[in-house]
A and B are shown apart, each in its own frame.
Chain A
Amino acid sequence: MAGSGFFKYSSPASFYPLAGRLVPVFGWLAAALTVTGLYIGFVVAPTDFQQGEAYRIIFIHVPAAWMAMFTYLVIAGWSAASFIWNTRLSAMMAQALAPTGAMFAFISLWTGAFWGRPTWGTYWVWDARLTSTLILLFLYIGLMALRATIEDPRRADRACAVLALVGSVNVPIIYFSVQWWNTLHQGASVSLTAAPKMAETMLAGMPVMGLAAWAYTIAAALHRVRSIILEREAHARWTRELVR
């Protein structure tokens, strides 16, 4: 099936060099976007009247939360692809993305704490987004734990694919239920979703950081998938020639 166009890259052997060329491209893009975004967020955007400087953490908190969720859906997409076309590489991409998604979930939770403390005096609030992100982090940990405890790589691929697909169907339901739960118990005035009204310059920083997170995820995943490919294709001739 060394076919034409898109499918040409579906074998790990031909994808490996392509990924190698793309990693620096996306890496530099991520760096540039991050610098720009942080500049907008931490330098250009004016101080908020109500929340002072602390609100600036939102430029990391929100894009990270968004990226964590999006990455999970991408993992589900690769998992579906690995079932439909029975390609090893799709499963490897799913495997490569998980740690980065988990990292963003963790960053989102951490920055949420940094925001909460100076603003409302508490490190953690049970608001809808933070709680959903916490559960998402557990879903990621579950994926990585399942991968770690299954020895056969192909079996791990398929088991994690099932888990990712079941999880992805559940993710909107989880978010919805947490939202519901949160509004039911509204009475708490603290909410990280109640962002301060922001001027346009403030808002410009968010999509930039969002794109930065996206570029970083691609770079990290491609880099990681190269290691995964080497590890799992260790017996194949082309890897041995590479090492030589």
Chain B
Amino acid sequence: MSGAVVAGDRLEVEDLACAAGIRTLFRDIGFSLGPGQWIQLGGPNGCGKSTLLRALAGLVRPVAGSISWRGEPVAASRERWHASIAYQGHLPGWKDTLGAAENLRWQLLLDGEPAEPARLRDLLARVGLERQARLAYQRLSAGQRRRLGLARLVASGRPLWLLDEPTTALDAAGQALFGEILDRHLDRGGLAICATHLELPVRSPAIRLELGARTKA
């Protein structure tokens, strides 16, 4: 499955530039990310962190630059690229009227992951939501909602994680949980780019990329 972590996964970005309307958000962004590495994407509000993640995911077209994954340009096969990434943006991506377990089930099926009830139970337990399985998503607290997103990441076998403010609303335990999950992913050779202005409790050292200044990392 092209989504699994493979030795030699590499993300190469060159001269990436994005604009919002007429205003250029950022230019000349370039970096190379290898297995087990992760980027902490920082910068002031409005500098384009979210847009950079969205451009990498393919939701937004960059005005310039190239993105390559495993040596091939990402534009060559959209589906193969999508199979290699797990994106969590500002919007949570869950349905209000469905329960936590149901939501997770649909998302896992969409991700191409197995979603039997036993696995769902395990995943929810892993993120501390075992008692909230039947609760409608709209009844969950902000922190609990964020943990559901973590459950999806745990289940996902995809090599590259693109996360926008992943620890918002998480309590201390939740943040530690996130750190654990990300560390385990990186240990397995996965890659990640996290946009955040908080310090993340992750053991592996981050490559820091600050927007608002031209950077080649």
The count of residues in chain A whose C-beta lies closer than 8 Å to any C-beta of chain B is 7
Interface flag for B21 (CB, 8 Å): yes
C-beta contact mask, B16-28 vs A, less than 8 Å → 1, else 0? 0000111110000
Give the residue name and chain of the A residue nearest to B21 (CB).
A152
Query: Shortest beta-carbon distance, A22 to chain B, in Å?
Result: 26
Q: Enumerate chain B residues within 8 angstroms of A151, measured Cβ to Cβ.
A: 21
C-beta contact mask, A200-244 vs B, less than 8 Å → 1, else 0? 000000000000000000000000000000001011000000000
Which residues of A from 123 to 154 have beta carbons under 8 Å from B?
Answer: 151-154
Query: Shortest beta-carbon distance, A89 to chain B, in Å?
Result: 16
Query: Roughly how many angstroms separate A238 CA and B22 CA in the complex, as a whole number?
Result: 15
A-B contact list, 5 entries, CB within 8 Å? A151-B21, A153-B22, A154-B61, A232-B22, A234-B22
Query: Roughly how many angstroms separate A152 CA and B22 CA in the complex, as a whole number?
Result: 9
Query: Roughly how many angstroms separate A152 CA and B20 CA in the complex, as a whole number?
Result: 7
Instruction: Give the interface centre of B20, B21, B24 by most chain A CB atoms within 10 Å.
Output: B21
Which residues of B from 1 to 28 have beta carbons under 8 Å from A?
Answer: 20-24
Q: Enumerate chain B residues within 8 angstroms of A153, measured Cβ to Cβ.
A: 21-22
Which residues of A from 161 to 206 have beta carbons under 8 Å from B?
Answer: none
Query: Shortest beta-carbon distance, B190 to chain A, in Å?
Result: 33
Q: Enumerate chain A residues within 8 angstroms of B22, measured Cβ to Cβ.
A: 153, 232, 234-235
Instruction: Give the interface centre of A151, A232, A235 by most chain B CB atoms within 10 Å.
Output: A235
Query: Roughly how many angstroms separate A151 CA and B61 CA in the complex, as a whole number?
Result: 16
Query: Roughly how many angstroms separate A153 CA and B20 CA in the complex, as a whole number?
Result: 9
Query: Shortest beta-carbon distance, A21 to chain B, in Å?
Result: 26
Q: Enumerate chain A residues within 8 angstroms of B24, measured Cβ to Cβ.
A: 235
Q: Enumerate chain A residues within 8 angstroms of B61, measured Cβ to Cβ.
A: 154
Query: Shortest beta-carbon distance, A142 to chain B, in Å?
Result: 23
Which residues of B from 51 to 88 have beta carbons under 8 Å from A?
Answer: 61
Which are the 9 A-B pairs with shortest beta-carbon distances? A235-B22, A152-B21, A234-B22, A153-B21, A151-B21, A232-B22, A152-B20, A235-B23, A235-B24
Q: Enumerate chain B residues within 8 angstroms of A234, measured Cβ to Cβ.
A: 22
Query: Shortest beta-carbon distance, A148 to chain B, in Å?
Result: 15
Which residues of B from 23 to 63 have beta carbons under 8 Å from A?
Answer: 23-24, 61
Query: Roughly how many angstroms separate A153 CA and B23 CA in the complex, as a whole number?
Result: 12
Query: Roughly how many angstroms separate A151 CA and B23 CA in the complex, as a whole number?
Result: 13
Query: Shortest beta-carbon distance, A197 to chain B, in Å?
Result: 57
Give the residue name and chain of the B residue nearest to A236 (CB).
B22
Give the residue name and chain of the B residue nearest to A86 (CB).
B61
Query: Roughly how many angstroms separate A153 CA and B61 CA in the complex, as a whole number?
Result: 13
Q: Apart from A152-B20, A153-B22, what are 9 other A-B pairs with CB-CB below 8 Å?
A: A151-B21, A152-B21, A153-B21, A154-B61, A232-B22, A234-B22, A235-B22, A235-B23, A235-B24
Query: Shortest beta-carbon distance, B67 to chain A, in Å?
Result: 17
Query: Shortest beta-carbon distance, A239 to chain B, in Å?
Result: 11
Query: Shortest beta-carbon distance, A85 to chain B, in Å?
Result: 15
Query: Roughly how many angstroms separate A14 CA and B61 CA in the complex, as a whole number?
Result: 25
Query: Roughly how many angstroms separate A234 CA and B22 CA in the complex, as a whole number?
Result: 8
Query: Roughly how many angstroms separate A154 CA and B23 CA in the complex, as a whole number?
Result: 12
Q: Enumerate chain A residues within 8 angstroms of B23, measured Cβ to Cβ.
A: 235
Give the residue name and chain of the A residue nearest to B23 (CB).
A235
Query: Shortest beta-carbon distance, A154 to chain B, in Å?
Result: 8
Query: Roughly how many angstroms separate A154 CA and B20 CA in the complex, as a whole number?
Result: 9
Give the residue name and chain of the A residue nearest to B20 (CB).
A152
Query: Shortest beta-carbon distance, B54 to chain A, in Å?
Result: 13
Instruction: Give the interface centre of B20, B22, B24, B61 by most chain A CB atoms within 10 Å.
Output: B22
Query: Roughly how many angstroms separate A153 CA and B21 CA in the complex, as a whole number?
Result: 6
Q: Enumerate chain B residues within 8 angstroms of A154, measured Cβ to Cβ.
A: 61
Query: Shortest beta-carbon distance, B65 to chain A, in Å?
Result: 16
Query: Shortest beta-carbon distance, B24 to chain A, in Å?
Result: 8
Query: Roughly how many angstroms separate A154 CA and B61 CA in the complex, as a whole number?
Result: 10
Query: Roughly how many angstroms separate A204 CA and B24 CA in the complex, as a whole number?
Result: 55
Query: Shortest beta-carbon distance, A231 to chain B, in Å?
Result: 9
Query: Shortest beta-carbon distance, A92 to chain B, in Å?
Result: 14
Give the residue name and chain of the A residue nearest to B24 (CB).
A235
Query: Roughly how many angstroms separate A152 CA and B19 CA in the complex, as a whole number?
Result: 10
Give the residue name and chain of the A residue nearest to B61 (CB).
A154
